[in-house]
Amino acid sequence: MSDATPGRLAGRSALVTGAGSGIGAATAARLRADGARVYTVDMKGEVDRHADVTPPGINAQLVAEAVTLHGGLDILVPCAGVSAFHPLEGHDDAYFDMVMAVNVTAVFRLIRDAVPALKQSRHGRIVTIGSTMARFGDAGLVAYGTSKHAVLGMTRSVACELGPFGITVNCLQPGAIETPMTEQAFTQMPQFKTYWENKAALGRLGQPEDIADVIAFLCSDDARFFSGQGFFVDGAAMQRQ
Ligand SMILES: NC(=O)c1ccc[n+]([C@@H]2O[C@H](COP(=O)([O-])OP(=O)(O)OC[C@H]3O[C@@H](n4cnc5c(N)ncnc54)[C@H](O)[C@@H]3O)[C@@H](O)[C@H]2O)c1
């Protein structure tokens, strides 16, 4: 984490899912360091509330809990996500449905269910977590690639609908970040890790804090006129052939 900006998010209330690990955990830490009160949710890890974000009704409950605990809701970061390699041939329906349920449907429900509270805020912020995978495709990642394209489309539509209420909505698209999600792939396929290290003009993989710091900026007043964007935070990997 870069130096916190104490007080930048003072008085703001945030809800972060997927906060038990990786990018979500780093985001919760950074938002707190900047002064926000953060309600953290995940199936595992050290969070305020253990929950699976996929059952119908749970997202409304999580929003209600955050509002009750902190007296309102200003910032929403749906970060819970899943990814694994599955070849298309023999790809079972259940895995595809599960990826869509976590990466897309749960994000949609959380945003929808947070709208009344975010409308009350004078600083409503939604940051969805897409991927560079919404720019290209890759073998074995049909479910993940489909889900991240969907998150980008959702972000753009929601930004148009919630703009009149002063709520900004952006989709941060990380490059390859060292988290438990990528750890297994990097171990199984070291060439995959080397590929991403070399592809980034900055010459390294990203760290969760590289993403969290940008999220905190997007949640601040400095980003008040920035909305409806999908953008890469990838060390310029997507700018290189
Ligand atoms: N790591 C990367 O290179 C990378 C790149 C682009 C996008 N992303 C996205 O960033 C987000 C965070 O990923 P990460 O890399 O930190 O991975 P991670 O595995 O470290 O964290 C994801 C968290 O989501 C939680 N989660 C998964 N399913 C859940 C469910 N049904 N209910 C509640 N929690 C659930 C997991 O328990 C885990 O703690 C994901 O949306 C991922 O797609 C990651």
* Predicted pLDDT at 4: 86
At 215, phi and psi to the nearest 5? -60, -45
* Predicted pLDDT at 208: 98
Q: Is the CB of 200 under 6 A from ligand 1?
A: no
DSSP state of 102: I
Place of tokens 């009149």: 164
- The pLDDT profile of the chain, 241 residues, written as one tens digit per residue, is 678 888 999 999 999 999 999 999 999 999 999 999 999 999 999 999 999 999 999 999 999 999 999 999 999 999 999 998 899 999 999 999 999 999 999 999 999 999 999 999 989 999 999 999 999 999 999 999 999 999 999 999 999 999 999 999 999 999 999 999 999 889 888 998 999 999 999 999 999 999 999 999 999 999 999 999 999 999 999 998 7
First to last CA, the chain: 30
* Predicted pLDDT at 108: 99
Ligand 1 centroid from CA 12, angstroms: 24
* Predicted pLDDT at 221: 97
Q: Is the CB of 62 under 6 A from ligand 1?
A: no
For a mutational test of ligand 1's pocket, the pick from 82, 98, 141, 171, i.e. the residue with the most ligand atoms closer than 8 A to its C-beta, is 82
Annotated catalytic residue, options 39, 95, 144, 195: 144
144 is catalytic: yes
* Predicted pLDDT at 185: 85
Q: Is the CB of 78 under 6 A from ligand 1?
A: no
Ligand 1 centroid from CA 82, angstroms: 5
Helix (H) or strand (E) holding 134: none
Q: Is the CB of 18 under 6 A from ligand 1?
A: yes
Which residue CA neighbors atom 20 of ligand 1 most closely?
A: 22
Helix (H) or strand (E) holding 28: helix 22-33
- How distant is the alpha carbon of residue 111 from its chain centre? 12
Is the domain covering 13-178+209-230 a CATH 1.10.3210.10 domain?
A: no
* Predicted pLDDT at 84: 85
Pairing of strands 230-233, 13-17: unpaired
- Bridge partners of 138, per DSSP, are none
Three-class secondary structure of residue 141 per DSSP: strand
Provide the strand spans (E) within 29-68.
37-42, 49-50
Ligand 1 centroid from CA 18, angstroms: 6
Q: Are 172 and 214 in contact (CB under 8 A)?
A: yes
Please tell me the distance from the alpha carbon of residue 1 to that of residue 4, in angstroms, as a whole number.
Answer: 8
Q: What CA dihedral angle connects 48, 54, 104 and 196, to 10 degrees? A: 60
Which residue CA neighbors atom 23 of ligand 1 most closely?
A: 18
Please tell me the distance from the alpha carbon of residue 192 to that of residue 87, in angstroms, as a whole number.
Answer: 17
Q: Is the CB of 5 under 6 A from ligand 1?
A: no
* Predicted pLDDT at 1: 66
